Amino acid sequence: MTTVYLNGEYKPLLEASINVLDRGFTFGDGVYEVIPIFNRTLFRFDEHMQRLENSLKAIFMENPYSSIKWRSIFEKLIDTVEQSEQSIYLQITRGVSERDHDISLADNPTIFAMSRPIVKQELSAGINAITHEDIRWQYCDIKAITLLPSVLLRHKAKQQGAKEAILIRDGYLTEGAASNVFICKDDEIFTPPKNNHVLPGITRDLLLEILASNNMSYSESTISEGALFNADEVWLTSSTWEIVPVIKLDNMPIGTGETGPLWQTINQLYQEFKSGYC
């Protein structure tokens, strides 16, 4: 039975419950994080904590706990799961109030965390993706729990036999429904710059760090829809997927239609970094 953390208590998942007037439930008024655990080690913990801090600040909330306290909660949860590869899901909502948009009515956040095994999907042969207009809002840099657009986008991808929707805003690539995007053209690597239309992915930033430390050049620059379709390779990054090659976009092959050589190199470097870290 999964153990979860809810408002100061550890309890079996089925015994954890919240008030139906929680603003997370009525308004989607909250933020979350997903932190991968490899070899029972919190991967890039500080970076995830910093993003949490930024998300909370952006929705006018304070972080209820110090990083030390968060770490101790996560470590307890990790110990309750058998598998060594897990991911922590943590969610903070503005708490319970009458159903009124006014945020000053809520002063006691709801704090929830759990750890789950990462179910490894075999994605190294590459996945299919679709393109779709970016139908989300203007604050995509906040890791908000309000994810209906992303849920619908993933569903549309699935309906078309694909695993991810790659989003286009005003003719330019932003990111995936739940991943960041990289493209390669003539051995050059590109990813869109961070702004309010893109979640600052921890895996994205780590990949850039790994490229820099291996003297591989890259550019954070706008990528047109045409450049996306013309790429030799397209990769998606996220904490749970790591780096996944896209081999077909809207049913058309990317490059040769197979996993590319640069992905092989980058993925190897990423796996080496992970082993060293954990």
Evaluate whether 87 touches 105 at the Cβ level (below 8 Å).
Answer: no
Residue 143 falls in the annotated catalytic set? yes
C-alpha dihedral sign at 224, 226, 229, 232: negative
Residue 273: CB minimum distance to ligand PDD, A: 14
By the rule CB under 6 A, 179 interacts with ligand PDD: yes
CB-wise, 64 or 200, nearer to ligand PDD? 200
DSSP codes of every residue in 215-231: T--EEE---BHHHHHH-
* Closest C-alpha among 183, 171, 170 to residue 224: 171
Residue 178: CB minimum distance to ligand PDD, A: 4
Report the alpha-carbon distance of residue 164 to residue 178 in Å, rounded.
8
CB-wise, 93 or 238, nearer to ligand PDD? 238
Residue 256: CB minimum distance to ligand PDD, A: 26
Task: Give the ranges where the chain is alpha helix by DSSP (H).
Answer: 23-27, 45-58, 67-79, 148-159, 202-213, 225-230, 261-277
CB-wise, 106 or 127, nearer to ligand PDD? 127
Report the alpha-carbon distance of residue 154 to residue 164 in Å, rounded.
6
By the rule CB under 6 A, 192 interacts with ligand PDD: no
Q: For ligand PDD, which stretch binds (CB under 6 A), given 17-25, 68-76, 186-194, 202-210?
A: 202-210
Which positions from 84 to 123 touch ligand PDD by CB under 6 A, shown as an x/- string?
----------------------------------------
- Of the candidates 69, 143, 156, 163, the residue annotated as catalytic is 143
Evaluate whether 114 touches 37 at the Cβ level (below 8 Å).
Answer: no
Give Cα 23 to chain centroid, integer Å: 22
Residues 236-275 that bind ligand PDD (CB under 6 A): 237-240
By the rule CB under 6 A, 203 interacts with ligand PDD: yes
Q: Which residue numbers are catalytic?
A: 143
**Footprint on this chain of ligand PDD (rule: CB under 6 A):** 34, 175, 178-180, 199, 201-204, 237-240
